[in-house]
Amino acid sequence: MTPRLSFIRAAALLLLLGSAAPAQAQSDSLASIRRQFGRYQSRTLAEKLFLHLDRSLYVSGEMLWFKVYSLDGNRQKPLDFSKVAYVEVLSADHKPVLQGKIALQNAVGQGSFALPASLPSGTYTVRAYTSRMRNFSPELYFSSPLTIVNTMATTGQPAARDSAAYDLQFFPEGGNLVQNLPGKVGFKITGRTGRSVAAEGVIVDQNGKPVTQFKTFKYGLGSFPLLPTAAGATYSAVVKVEGRRTITRKLPAVFAQGYVLHLEEAGPDQLRLSVQTNDPQGSDTELLLLVRTRHQVVAAPVQRLQNGQTQFVVSKQALGEGVSHFTLFNSRKQPLCERLYFQAPRQQLGLTASTGKPQYTTREKVALQVTSSAPANLSLAVYRLDSLSATASAASMQSYLWLASELKGTVENPDYYLSAANPAEVREATENLLLTHGWSRFRWEDVFAPARALPFVPEMNGHLIRGSVTDKVTKAPAPGIPVYLAAPSRLIQLYTAISRPDGAVQFEAKNFYGPKEIIVQTNTRRDTTYRLEIADPFSEQYPEPAWPTRALSARLRDDLTQRHVGMQVQNAYFKPFQRSTAPAPADSLAFYGKASEKFMLDDYTRFTSMEEVLREYVPGVQVRRRQDGFHFEVYNDPNNTIFDQEPMILLDGMPVFNTNRIMRLDPLRVQKLEVVRSRYFQGQQLYQGVVSYTTYKGDLAGFPIDPHALVQEYEGLQLQREFYAPQYATDQQKQSRLPDFRDLLYWQPVLVTTGKEAAPLEFYTSDQTGRYVVVVQGISPQGLAGSGSFQFEVKAAL
């Protein structure tokens, strides 16, 4: 049962429990629905992500490239809000195969995954979300099917021949079938692989008497009228699938009392929504129709039922573009029925790609020009168009943003519903799609509930590393505890946090790139009774699997062999170039900025003890011996005094709370010593000066880590790989004996057009002949999304 049907059917049952409220109370209650929804929307910014993948079918061992676009789901415009996107490749059973944290800047980011050669064949899911999106349903994450073929192993398996292989679902318009109220039922049928199948059949009652006939219209979808004649009556569908196999499935139950909602065209510019009920207690009550487009309320008319009937007329112009939701409420704020309607965007970003000629030879330079109808941020891929590519397709940016992302489940060929060909057919197919894929992006209980703090805050400045502090003995949360996180390196960075009442901590790890060993600890000079944990930053919530399986027939063997050879050649000869990463963007200064004193120890006499180093040429630090050992006191320059408390002592950025241990460090392993001779505030932490040691390699040089600290590997933001393609600019390069069997000729995730001049690009063809396709996608600052494609041919050189 879908979420939409669940809440509507629950509301239908609640209708039987109470009587109608007085008229004034009804009006006040209905008016409050719009206000409460407005407040809910104001605190739940609708983030939306889109990934442009270089392809949608891969061979194990290949590289997967992608670009991330971040958008405002309300306005469909680029949204520079979250600074990190989480991208995953999941197996069919929701096991993460690959994961990456992608830095977002100016609402875009880019990344890549090296697909392991051992990855088994199958249909995978690539999904993307931000930290803030984790507060809501995983249905809101970007997700797209991904076919991976392991050419080292046998692929595919014979399809089962049984009726259980077919999934047939029914969706009454508005939500319910109600006794003696005419309704409309949408249906959806898919085969064992999850792909739509053609079917036709008849609806029979509990006595086997035929009631109506039906057949699929497009992509396994269709609809039929039905008038249930008795409460508790059962109806079944006897269906002939693909013209040969007959299956039987039951329809949803018929309610004795309830509401039905029917939407129809009332002219070229208007929609009519008819409401009927057989509930005697609600036959003259007021109802509100809340109309939302792209999560914004565009209308909220109120009508009174007369003899159990009423109608709402809504202007299509008021709805705007995209998916609109019509939700019917009674005065007790109970949702009774829901219906969806779609208007395709009237404008889209025009994109064109052209080459100097339609045909090229192998290892020849291609000059490509890309133009757009408006300034835009784009990404572009050029790959060989073979039979494998024909079996794999993903939603374009505009069809995903405007349609697929607003619907539940898998939308087969979403681009079709935005096509201009055969408008009447597209309109009927869209109607069936909305009947069978409708859903709410939230729970109405959350809308009407008091505002609450969201557990996952937006990452507006960088990646947030989350964890917890508990008491080792009692296991209870430990509030108010300062915690320090460091990843030792030559770039001195320290992240701090104070645990909340529930023991949770989070560190704002700006410019935290690549795999690192992190060290998390409390101030062990004060206490050692705490247990520290770092949380997994990736979501563990998953929607139901829905992607159809892509069957690979024997006729694809030649193309699979060619892809296999190409992958092997690329990894054998070009792997070091393909998988090299660009340096991480980083500030060369330590987190505390410019130090008051800086000593490169190789410039001074080398002493054998750290005490001699400090006493001889570090005037900013006084070394004191007491009963429990060494202590540091740092000069306070602004006040011309000496701090009476220990400074923060660091080794390659790691706090050292035991001064005796740092004094045992071999000075010959230290390259640099810096001193901050003033108070330093870091968040809520105050340091009475800073003494910072840096080793030659930034790896602690064998210094023992405090046994009470948590040490673990942690992957920061993904380091960007640089797309590599061979150059054949000279005769010597063209005559190179290294084979070049690239299937993906070019990937460019950073392409900005002005809307006036073409963006010139250059790349070289490989040794593979055939037809190649150029796919370009992107969006303008005003929210115009678009995609375009262009083909050219490569032939063997004479």
What b/e readout covers 496-513, taking b as 16+ CB neighbours within 10 angstroms?
bbebeeebbbbbbbbebb
Element (H, E) at 341: strand 335-343
Cα 122 to Cα 548: distance, rounded to the nearest angstrom: 10
Domain boundaries, the chain: 463-534
Cα 644 to Cα 272: distance, rounded to the nearest angstrom: 79
Query: What's the pLDDT tens digit per position in 151-198?
Result: 887 554 444 444 568 899 999 999 999 999 999 999 999 987 788 999
Cα 351 to Cα 530: distance, rounded to the nearest angstrom: 58
Query: What's the pLDDT tens digit per position in 708-740?
Result: 999 999 999 999 998 989 999 999 999 999 999
Cα 762 to Cα 355: distance, rounded to the nearest angstrom: 10
Q: Which one is predicted more confidently, 331 or 619?
A: 619
Cα 324 to Cα 165: distance, rounded to the nearest angstrom: 34
Q: Which one is predicted more confidently, 357 or 544?
A: 357
In this structure, of 345-349, 416-420, 442-446, the range with the lowest mean pLDDT score is 442-446
Q: Which one is predicted more confidently, 109 or 195?
A: 109
Give the confidence band of 1 by pLDDT, cuts at 50, 70, 90: very low
Q: Which one is predicted more confidently, 567 or 581?
A: 567
- Is 109 in contact with 102 (CB distance < 8 Å)? yes
Q: Which one is predicted more confidently, 453 or 484?
A: 484
- Is 665 in contact with 703 (CB distance < 8 Å)? yes
Tokens for 113?
A: 């995954």
For 351-372, what is the mean pLDDT?
A: 93
- Is 65 in contact with 749 (CB distance < 8 Å)? yes
Does residue 17 carry a pLDDT above 50?
no
Average pLDDT, the chain: 89
DSSP assignment of 714-734, as one string?
EE-BPPPBPP------SHHHH
Cβ count near 516 (within 10 Å): 17
Instruction: DSSP letter for 174, please.
Output: B
Gyration radius of the chain's alpha carbons: 32
Q: Which parts of 546-619 are beta strand (E)?
A: 597-600
- Is 483 in contact with 522 (CB distance < 8 Å)? yes
Query: What's the pLDDT tens digit per position in 385-442?
Result: 886 776 556 789 999 999 999 998 889 999 999 987 889 999 999 999 999 998 666 6
